[in-house]
Amino acid sequence: MPFQITILDTNEVYSCKETQHLLSGMMQLGKKGIPVGCRSGGCGVCKVKIHQGAYATKKMSRDHVSQDEENSGTVLACRVFPQTNISLSVIGHLHKAVMR
């Protein structure tokens, strides 16, 4: 059964299965709110703070999320698989890496 994911910044709500990471659920429904990058835990743009809910994680690059952050619920959305309904706020952003 899918869980409800709430992006607190925009009040966007979408559903996500426990076999899907949070970005995959969002993208599949054409929803927006969390920046989408590599979707594999390496680039850091989808960094979020989980306020409520239980979840499983996969490995994420320590360049972007420290162990302490991970322990306190600051994670990469593409590495988070929901086990209950979740509410989160967005920390990461797509910056313009090309200098003009």
Partner 1 sequence: MAMTGILRPGHIQLRVLDMDESVNHYCNNIGLIETDRDEQGRVYLKCWDEQDKFSVVLEPSDRSGMDHVAYKVATEQDLWHYESKIKKFGIDTKRVPAGELKGCGERVRFVVPAGHIFELYAEKEQVGNGLSTTNPAPWPRGLKGMEPIRFDHCLLYGNNFEENFKFFTEALDFQLTEQIVDGEVQLAAFLTCSTKAHDVAFIRSEKSAQLHHASFLLGSWEGVLKAGDIISMEDIPLETGPTRHGLTRGQTIYFFDPSGNRNEVFAEDSYVYPDSPVLTWTADNIGQAIFYHSRTLVDSFMGVTS
Query: Per rule CB under 8 A, is residue 33 in the interface with partner 1?
Result: no
Q: Is 40 in the site for partner 1 (CB under 8 A)?
A: yes
Bridge partners for 4 per DSSP? 15
Among 11, 68, 71, 99, binds partner 1 (CB under 8 A): 99
Residues linked to residue 82 through DSSP beta bridges, in sequence order: 55
Asked if residue 31 binds partner 1 (CB under 8 A), the reply is no
- CB atoms < 10 A from the CB of 60, how many? 22
Q: Which of 25, 33, 41, 82 binds partner 1 (CB under 8 A)?
A: 41
Q: Tell me the longest C-alpha to C-alpha distance in the chain.
A: 47
Nearer to partner 1, 7 or 46 (CB): 46
Q: Measured from the CB of residue 50, what is the shortest distance to partner 1 in angstroms?
A: 20
CB 35 within 8 A of CB 46: yes
Main-chain dihedrals φ then ψ at residue 78, nearest 5 degrees: -75, -5
Binding site for partner 1 (CB under 8 A): 36-43, 45, 58-63, 94-100
